Amino acid sequence: MENIILELRNLKKYFPTPHGVLHAVDDISLSINRGQTLGLVGESGCGKSTIGRTILRLIEPTSGEIYFEGQNITDIPKSQFKSMRKHMQFIFQDPYSSINPRLTVSQSIAEPLIVNKLASSKSELNELVLHYMEMVGLDSRLASAYPHELDGGRRQRIGIARALSVEPKFIICDEPVSALDVSIQAQILNLVQDLQEQLNLTYIFVTHNLSVVKHISNEIAVMYLGQLVEKCQAEELFERPMHPYTRALLSAILLPSPKSRNKKREILRGEITSPINPTPGCRFAKRCNYATAACVGESYELRDMGGDHMTSCIRVISGELKWD
Amino acid sequence: MSEILLEIKDLEVQYLTMDATIRAVNGLSLILNRGETLGVVGETGAGKTTLALSIMQLLPKKIGRIVGGCIEFAGQSLLNASAKAMRSVRGDEIAMIFQDPMTSLNPVMTIGDQIAEMIELHSTDKNKKEISVKVDELLEVVGIPATRKAEYPHQFSGGMRQRVVIAIALACNPTLLIADEPTTALDVTIQAQVLEMMEDLKTRLNTSMLLITHDLGVVAAMCDSVAVMYAGRIIEYGTVEQIFDSPRHPYTIGLLNAIPNLENKSHRLIPIEGLMPNPALLPIGCSFHPRCKKCMEICRRQNPINFDDAGHRVACHLYFSNTEDT
């Protein structure tokens, strides 16, 4: 389809460790339409950041293919891949460590423009830097300020300006607001949404915060230990969650309202299991309150339950497990 | 009336640095009743942690000092207490859970020994065997199998480490537990586990709790009353229902508006414009006035006092309709 900007086919990333093979991303297939936002949710260690990094080939995939605008970008030699990165950018989680502390705001934003030879003269470069500063809401008087003089929200704006400066079509936002206070978080989320409308950007928005992901995404994919367990439209996920893990995640959200206190919470047993040498079968089974013998031993794939609502829970697929 | 356990009046704390005096806490007053859980909410730099450290008398020496006000715990002033008396208050009477379990545990000591250390220091009458039994008990209480007590912190996950920290805090049955962002470093499903356990322990042991957090969801789920902090002051105080259902201070209203709401999807969030003031250069008048949409003339001149309505207190000129003319 023409409208698909990015497609992952059976993407895998394994890391060798002294104790065995760590399955960080295990057989993930998904696609994103132009101008849309895909939210990628999961807990620490589920591989959501690894997916982002693998798409930009900051780390090389173990197997599988990545298609960007219909072109397989998995086997483009590294030397030529640099030109692809103009179209695909990254906004990092921590605005404190992802920006060079020894460069001023304008130098930081100019860097990608210089590297990609996007300005023909010094005056054009200055103009472009000011243009992007304005776009992300940084006052021009801050051009010669250093990152340590700025708060987290402004630093994150520098990161966003750097990503935008090469005019990308697609941006991976890796927890861009989780290091920020709520009042600043709202400013950045609004900015990210406004920029999407103005520039017709496509986002993968990686986060562990479910309220944020619902707010910003068109579609949400839920990950558990390197695999997708559920994927559907954002609204649908909150209205009709299917996978027991998704349901537990949603039930663990604490709403800022005292009324929600009486809500029955589903508490998961145990902790996330090791992604090293996982045994076949549902990886969530050990913590699942609904697991049966059928959940272990065989691996299951995402199945469309109608209306593009995909889940991997075998008991839901077989109709054994129904929610009211 | 319920019994007052902790009372803080007009507390002022400053940090002296080479080039400025940082006014971290500015005339803060609060009351915590026995058996109650009080949530202290605020953003980075509001002075929440400074408040906790002041109660514990753990402010960094030389740099941090309490310049005014008083802190009374169970009727006794903590500010006049000797270092020796404070040592027995800490742990025995007031215990603290810190934000980051990765850094608050000793990496080269087994978790069993770290819990035992606490008991040894505070109940000197216990022999080795009794201590060991108590350690097993505590681990049981926080949901860690006692067989793991000879393991080191790195062998545990984040959630488990926070359970160890909680076990240490509970070792001497403190009357007051100060929890400084206890679940901020944890994943949501683990946060749910830890909060459920804390809630359960609190009712079982009848501990009072001061829960410091920036997460309004945690406050709504755990607390009886809430104090909202801004620039070193409490700007609004009330029961959870009062604060969440009818917030009054423009800052509290702003905070609640800035969170993405799961229930109704609005396209845009309403952020609070501007930034927290620099605590070395606090604005004159109400410290929120530069960011406040309802700022009046008087807000620039005069720091508001509390407007009290059935225990719902708000420090804002908006609620003193007459003062506007003066």
A134-150 confidence digits (pLDDT tens): 999 999 999 999 999 88
Q: Which burial class, exposed, middle or buried, applies to B132 when counting CB atoms under 10 A from its CB (0-12, 13-18, 19+)?
A: middle
β-pairing verdict for B306-309 and B312-315: antiparallel
CB pair distance less than 8 Å for A235 and B265 = yes
Angle formed at CA B37 by CA B183 and CA B276, multiple of 5 degrees: 60
Domain-embedded: residue A207:
yes
Size of interface A-B (CB pairs under 8 A): 117
Does residue A175 sit in the same domain as residue A247? no
Does residue A53 sit in the same domain as residue A183? yes
pLDDT at A294: 86
CB pair distance less than 8 Å for B270 and A186 = yes
Does residue A121 sit in the same domain as residue A176? yes
CB pair distance less than 8 Å for B220 and A260 = yes
Chain B residues touching A184 at Cβ < 8 A = 271, 275
CA torsion sign, A255 to A32 to A25 to A295? positive
Does residue A178 sit in the same domain as residue A289? no
Does residue A137 sit in the same domain as residue A190? yes
Does residue A29 sit in the same domain as residue A118? yes
Does residue A197 sit in the same domain as residue A299? no
Does residue A136 sit in the same domain as residue A174? yes
Using one digit for the tens of pLDDT, what is the confidence trace for A231-284?
999 999 999 999 999 999 999 888 888 887 777 778 887 777 888 888 888 999
Q: Tokens 């845009």 map to which residue?
A: B268
Alpha carbon distance B318, B305 (integer Å): 11
Question: Helix H segments across A116-221?
Answer: 122-135, 152-164, 182-199, 210-216
Sheet strands side by side (includes B94-97):
B94-97, B176-180, B208-213, B37-41, B225-230, B233-239, B312-315, B306-309
Alpha carbon distance B217, A258 (integer Å): 9
Domain-embedded: residue A125:
yes
Q: Structural domain of residue A27, as residue ranges?
A: 4-217
Number of domains in chain A: 2
Last-in-domain residue among A217, A251, A268: A217
In this prediction, does ipTM exceed 0.90? no
Does residue A246 sit in the same domain as residue A211? no
Q: What is the mean pLDDT of chain B?
A: 90
What is the number of alpha carbons within 13 Å of residue B137 lying toward its C-beta? 12
Residue B81 DSSP code = -
Among the partner-chain residues A181, A214, A248, the one whose CB lies closest to the CB of B43 is: A181
Among the partner-chain residues B218, B241, B258, the one whose CB lies closest to the CB of A182 is: B258
Chain B residues touching A255 at Cβ < 8 A = 217, 220, 262-263
Does residue A86 sit in the same domain as residue A140? yes
Which CATH number belongs to the domain containing residue A169 in this structure?
3.40.50.300
Count of CB atoms within 10 A of residue A104's CB? 17
What mean pLDDT do residues B21-46 have?
92
Of the listed ranges A90-94, A166-170, B112-116, B150-154, the one predicted with least confidence: A90-94
pLDDT at A131: 95
Using one digit for the tens of pLDDT, what is the confidence trace for A78-98?
888 888 889 999 998 888 888
Does residue A100 sit in the same domain as residue A198? yes
Reported confidence tier of residue B202, pLDDT bands at 50, 70, 90? confident
Domain-embedded: residue A267:
yes
Does residue A181 come out as left (phi exceeding 0), alpha (psi in the -120 to 50 range) or beta?
beta
B151-172 b/e (C-beta count within 10 Å ≥ 16 → b): eebeebbbbbbbbbbbbbbbbb
Residue B57 identity: Q
pLDDT at B326: 36
CB pair distance less than 8 Å for A267 and B192 = yes
CB pair distance less than 8 Å for B188 and A253 = yes
CB pair distance less than 8 Å for A256 and B256 = yes
Q: Which residues of A touch B (CB under 8 A)?
A: 43-44, 151, 153, 181-187, 189-190, 193, 208, 210-212, 214-216, 235, 238, 248-249, 251-258, 260-261, 265, 267-268, 271-272
Domain-embedded: residue A231:
no
Does residue A115 sit in the same domain as residue A49? yes
Using one digit for the tens of pLDDT, what is the confidence trace for B164-183?
999 999 998 899 999 999 98
Structure tokens at B240: 């959870």
Cα-based torsion angle of the residue sequence A116, A121, A124, A128 in order, rounded to the nearest 10 degrees:
20
